[in-house]
Amino acid sequence: MKKFKFITAIAFACAMLFSFNVNAQEFPDLDKSPMDAASFPSSYKESNKLVKIIYSRPQLNGRSVEDLIKNGEVWRTGANEAAELTLYKDMVFGDKEVKAGTYTFYVIPGEKEWTAIISSDLNVWGSYFYDEKNDVARVKVRITEGKESIEAFSIAFEKGDNGLNMHLGWGTLRVAIPFKL
């Protein structure tokens, strides 16, 4: 009888072990707007970064940019969580010095120009909880039109005249946002 109870206990333990193992193998489907990051310098081998932004990349999927972001409304600069901007060095944004640190990054689209915003808020989903009183700095930038359409919202950095430019692109829309060192 003891042998039977022992074998039953071993069988039960094995069944539980395999059932936990099966549950641990379940993964969610891929996000429709995958997370990405852009930094400067952009080389993944360069660890001495000046700036990095983490954002999600919504896709057009046959829609227009104007259908997805509205003029005059705060946008999280991507999808899902608000974009997270990390400055590894103090920089000037617009006319204001911004200390090294991590912030959220929003934009307010307009017909001819956009307002780019660095906010002290962190861990924010979307722009639903955006609060202007937490703005650290704002800058207005003009929009331009690219020759080619970009399906997925994209961000890239390049060295500019007095610092860096963060380029936003989606469809044929292009926005260059300056950061001064």
- The one-digit pLDDT tens for each residue of the chain (181 residues) are 555 555 555 656 555 555 554 556 788 787 888 899 999 988 777 778 999 999 999 999 999 999 999 999 999 999 999 999 999 999 999 899 999 999 999 999 999 999 999 999 999 999 999 999 999 999 999 999 999 999 999 999 999 888 999 999 999 999 999 999 8
Paired with 170 in beta bridges are 173
pLDDT at res. 2: 57
**Domain residue ranges in the chain:** 29-180
Give this prediction's pTM. Answer: 0.82
Buried/exposed code over 47-83 (b: 16+ C-beta within 10 A; e: otherwise): eebbbbbbbbbbebeeeebeebbeeeebbbbbbbbbb
